[in-house]
Amino acid sequence: MKQYVVDAFSDRVFSGNPAAVCLLDRFPEDEKMCHIAMENCLSETAFAVPDGEEYVLRWFTPAGEIDLCGHATLATAYVVLRFAHPEWNSVSFNTMSGKLTVVRKGDLLEMDFPAYRLTPVPVTDQMEQTIGARPIAAFMGRDLLCVLDKEEAVRSCAPSEQALLALDGLLLHITAAGSDYDCVSRSFGPKCGIYEDPVCGSGHCHIVPYWADVLKRDQVLAYQASKRGGVLHCEMAGDRVRLAGQAVLYAASEIFVD
């Protein structure tokens, strides 16, 4: 089984968010894909199978399958357009979240994703104790989004895994206005088997709708302020979010499983 590791939302290795990508003729058993994801110990392992001129795409965290993942979709598009179909300018994936299309835009790959509907929720002492700063607003989509008043509070946040597990939502995203970017953010996901997701595409399907509304414009330049870091060129388009970034190949290997 051929596997590629791609650093997504970055133009250089050792930054952005690494994803493993397996291009296959057919999907292995779910249990085997779970084991491969656990063995890789990355935030996501993507499995893609051709379906006519499209691909069926599934994503697995070390804790199991997930319904939407941005950086692994970007990484899979990079692999398909570089190795499988270099003559294509776009690729479409059929996924648990519907059809997702990725288009070449110069040196960027632009993804068309669904935006999560954000419901305001009360700010709680539990949120403040977990984050180490009191949010000025909080919202629930698939994940919990907490808005902080200072960029430094986002960058310095170091919540405990146990405290994160006790919060509502699949992941926790924290965000604030940025000094060099429109917004900065961090994403934490111990429920998915990872402490922090270095650059979270699906998280920005929560973050971008919030900032587009606050800034009163569709274009948002976002920075994920994890240790690895990553830049996302974002645009609201109705109930969709366009997320664009670069990607770079770290490794190609062969997995020896039946």
Burial annotation 112-139 (CB, 10 A radius, 16+ → b, else e): bbebbebeebeeeeebeebbebebebbb
Catalytic option among 29, 31, 39, 44: 44
Tokens standing for residue 187: 């994403």
The helix or strand, by DSSP H or E, that contains position 72, with its residue range, turns out to be: helix 70-79
161 is an active site residue:
no
Tell how strand 45-51 and strand 17-23 pair up: parallel
Which segments within 143-229 are labelled E, that is strand? Answer: 144-147, 172-177, 183-188, 196-197, 219-224
For residue 91 the two structure tokens come to: 């690729």
Helix (H, G, I), strand (E, B) or coil at 203: coil
Give just the sign of the alpha carbon dihedral 193, 195, 199, 202: positive
CB 86 within 8 A of CB 108: no
Q: Alpha-carbon distance 5 to 87, whole Å?
A: 22
Name the pairing type of β-strands 219-224 and 183-188.
Answer: parallel
Q: 220: alpha, beta or left, given left = phi > 0 and alpha = psi -120 to 50?
A: beta
What gap in Å lies between CA 171 and CA 201, rounded to an integer? 12
Report the distance separating Cα 205 and Cα 223, nearest Å: 14
Catalytic residue list: 44
